[in-house]
Amino acid sequence: MSVAAPPVRRRPPGRGKPSASRPVRPNAAKRRRGRATLRVVRPARPRRLPFLAISLFVVGLLIAAVAGVQAVIAQSSFRMDDLSRQAQQLQQRNGELRLEIAELGSPKHLERAARRMGLREPDPSGVRVLTVRNGDPNGPKDSGNSPGPAMAAGGVP
């Protein structure tokens, strides 16, 4: 492996301060005195006010939009919460009504209500059994389909 030697910095010719030993040429001094003085002119500054205003406006707009959207989302969220609570209440009410229907339709309740209204159960001996053939109530009696024992004994009118 070889190690490179550090480069030696040399002053480029004609740059930097003139050394004291270097002689000043009289012609050059005369030329300098005859020319106009040069000065560094700063480049014209671009106008930043509109850019800043636009930026602020855009950022403000974005913030307002985000805030608006957030507000809408929050509002919707609360509304959803309300609606789901309302749905839950309605479901509860629906369940209660179904329960009420089931309770009102239960045989025990119906019987009690019927008794309150003065209704009574039919007496088995008072039931008239019609014997028909092929579902035709006016058709002839089925001879084989004779009434049961109690009917045969005259238990049924």
Is the separation of the CB atoms in 98 and 108 below 8 Å?
no
Q: Which is nearer to other proteins, 55 or 84 (CB)?
A: 84
Q: How far is the CB of 33 from other proteins (least distance, A)?
A: 58
Q: How far is the CB of 58 from other proteins (least distance, A)?
A: 24
Q: Which is nearer to other proteins, 31 or 155 (CB)?
A: 155
Q: Which is nearer to other proteins, 70 or 86 (CB)?
A: 70
Q: How far is the CB of 119 from other proteins (least distance, A)?
A: 15
Q: How far is the CB of 153 from other proteins (least distance, A)?
A: 9
Residues at the site binding other proteins, with contacts judged by CB under 8 A? 70, 73-74, 77-78, 81, 88, 91-92, 95-96, 98-99, 102-103, 105-108, 111, 124-125, 127, 129, 131, 142, 144-151, 155-156
Three-state secondary structure string covering the chain? CCCCCCCCCCCCCCCCCCCCCCCCCHHHHHHHHHCCCCCCCCCCCCCCHHHHHHHHHHHHHHHHHHHHHHHHHHHHHHHHHHHHHHHHHHHHHHHHHHHHHHHHCCHHHHHHHHHHCCCCCCCHHHCCCCCCECCECCCCCCCCCCCCHHHHCCCCC
Q: Which is nearer to other proteins, 58 or 142 (CB)?
A: 142
